[in-house]
């Protein structure tokens, strides 16, 4: 069974992983690094299952129930902001120390490994320095803020944002309405998972209504709108931040061309007309800064603090 078949894009990484399985040249540790929502975890699970299946022909029966004894996934606990040391020392290490039950390897995936505490990272480093012969550890990370010593002990595979065409094609294959697929693919800004969330008609309409209102109030209001906007963003910060970036891009395009058909969101033309002067450089700067800031939503940084900074960038761009 080809566990990689449902993954969109990431052909370079997948090709390398398939070759390593075919030639039995699998490293003891991998780091899958790239933006959120682009298929890193799906690829990690596909790789893990392919490796296990190569030594256990009946593995698929266990995968269906998420019960294969030689596969473990470490997730951040729901009530915690970080992956703690005990998850490494009491869950991962003892489990890896046991011999494989059904195949020749035990495979562990650490999801969101960029959220490991310093203590957890140091504990993992000891395992990476002297891994059990049968161990395969896959770190999935949105950020390169891991210890250099951890990165140096892993085979690094970089993952990249999808283009709009790839996302739109994926959505159309899932029987999504063509107009909705086109809008969602652009709003996803390279992330299939975000595009899927925008596909829900209510979500798309609601996020547009909230975000467009924020921009209009920034244009016409006082500086207190920075704080108001930051609080409103708390209801759905990642989707709203993407929508804000799209609106700013649309405003810039419309101010330069006057062509509504070029916009991702036609309603942005009305907002653009509220700006009386050329703010192209400020808009471009704000877009870049917001794109950078919103990556912190997947870290342990307080989301309201991120919202405040995004709101301030929005204020500078349109006020």
Count of domains in the chain? 2
pLDDT of 299: 78
Give 128-172 pLDDT, tens digit per residue.
Answer: 999 999 999 999 998 878 889 999 999 999 999 999 999 999 999
Tokens of 53: 């299946």
pLDDT of 20: 95
CA distance linking residue 162 with residue 184, whole number of Å: 13
Give 79-117 pLDDT, tens digit per residue.
Answer: 888 999 999 999 999 999 999 999 999 999 999 999 999
Q: Tell whether 226 is covered by a domain.
A: yes
pLDDT confidence tier of residue 6, bands split at 50, 70 and 90? confident
Q: Do 154 and 212 have their domain in common?
A: no
CA distance linking residue 60 with residue 110, whole number of Å: 21
Q: Tell me which of 158, 188, 213 is where a domain ends.
A: 158
Range of the domain at 57: 11-158
Contact between 127 and 89 (Cβ < 8 Å): no
* CATH code at position 105: 3.40.50.300
Q: Do 149 and 268 have their domain in common?
A: no
CA distance linking residue 302 with residue 57, whole number of Å: 46
CA distance linking residue 119 with residue 87, whole number of Å: 11
Q: Tell whether 187 is covered by a domain.
A: no
Q: Tell me which of 98, 124, 158 is where a domain ends.
A: 158
Contact between 114 and 143 (Cβ < 8 Å): yes
| Residue 257 CB neighbour total at 10 angstroms | 11
Q: Tell whether 195 is covered by a domain.
A: no
Q: Which of 94, 98, 127 is nearest to 28 (CA)?
A: 127
Q: Which of 71, 144, 146, 76 is nearest to 102 (CA)?
A: 71
109-123, 195-209, 237-251: which range is least confident on average? Answer: 195-209
pLDDT confidence tier of residue 48, bands split at 50, 70 and 90? very high
Q: Tell whether 166 is covered by a domain.
A: no
Q: Do 116 and 238 have their domain in common?
A: no
201 has a pLDDT exceeding 70: no
pLDDT of 301: 84
DSSP characters for 68-98? -TTEEEE---TT-SSB-HHIIIIIIHHHHHS
Q: Which of 124, 41, 40 is nearest to 84 (CA)?
A: 124
Give 252-275 pLDDT, tens digit per residue.
Answer: 999 999 999 899 888 999 999 998
Predicted model pTM: 0.84
| Residue 84 CB neighbour total at 10 angstroms | 19
Q: What is the 3-state secondary structure (H, E, C) of 270-286?
A: HHHCCCCCCCHHHHHHH
Q: Do 136 and 216 have their domain in common?
A: no
Helices (H) and strands (E) in the chain, counts: 16, 5
pLDDT confidence tier of residue 183, bands split at 50, 70 and 90? confident
212 has a pLDDT exceeding 90: yes
pLDDT confidence tier of residue 319, bands split at 50, 70 and 90? confident
The angle subtended at Cα 233 by Cα 229 and Cα 238, nearest 5°, is: 140
Q: Tell whether 184 is covered by a domain.
A: no
pLDDT confidence tier of residue 123, bands split at 50, 70 and 90? very high
Q: Do 140 and 232 have their domain in common?
A: no
* CATH code at position 220: 1.20.272
Q: What integer is the mean pLDDT of 284-299?
A: 90
Q: Do 304 and 224 have their domain in common?
A: yes
Helix axes 237-257, 178-187, angle to 10 degrees: 100
Bigger pLDDT: 276 vs 96 = 96
CA distance linking residue 268 with residue 124, whole number of Å: 48
Bigger pLDDT: 145 vs 290 = 290
Tokens of 19: 């070759």
CA distance linking residue 59 with residue 64, whole number of Å: 9
Q: Do 21 and 153 have their domain in common?
A: yes
Q: Do 142 and 244 have their domain in common?
A: no
């Amino acid at each position: 069974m080809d566990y990689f078949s449902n993954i969109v894009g990431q052909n370079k990484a997948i090709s390398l992983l398939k070759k390593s399985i075919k030639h039995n040249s699998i490293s003891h540790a991998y780091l899958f690094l790239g933006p959120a929502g682009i298929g890193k975890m799906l690829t990690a699970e596909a790789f893990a299952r392919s490796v296990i299946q190569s030594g256990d022909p009946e593995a698929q029966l266990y995968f269906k129930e998420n019960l294969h004894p030689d596969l473990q996934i470490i997730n951040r606990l729901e009530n915690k902001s970080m992956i703690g040391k005990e998850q490494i020392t009491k869950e991962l290490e003892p489990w890896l120390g046991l011999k494989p039950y059904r195949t020749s390897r035990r495979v562990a995936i650490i999801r969101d490994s960029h959220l490991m505490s310093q203590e957890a990272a140091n504990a993992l480093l000891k395992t990476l320095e002297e891994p059990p012969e049968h161990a395969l550890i896959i770190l999935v990370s949105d950020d390169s803020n891991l210890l250099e010593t951890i990165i140096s002990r892993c085979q690094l595979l970089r993952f990249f944002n999808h283009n709009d065409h790839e996302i739109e094609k994926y959505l159309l294959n899932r029987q999504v309405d063509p107009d909705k697929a086109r809008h969602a693919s652009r709003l996803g800004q390279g992330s299939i998972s975000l595009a899927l969330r925008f596909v829900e008609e209510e979500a798309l309409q609601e996020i547009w209504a909230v975000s467009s209102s924020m921009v209009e109030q920034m244009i016409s209001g006082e500086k207190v709108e920075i704080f108001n906007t930051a609080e409103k963003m708390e209801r759905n910060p990642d989707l709203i931040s993407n929508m804000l970036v799209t609106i700013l891009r649309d405003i810039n395009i419309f101010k330069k061309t006057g062509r509504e058909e070029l916009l991702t969101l036609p309603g942005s033309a009305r907002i653009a007309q509220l700006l009386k002067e050329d703010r192209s450089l400020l808009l471009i700067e704000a877009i870049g800064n917001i794109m950078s800031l919103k990556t912190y939503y997947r870290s342990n940084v307080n989301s309201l603090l991120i919202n405040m900074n995004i709101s301030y960038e929005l204020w500078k761009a349109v006020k």
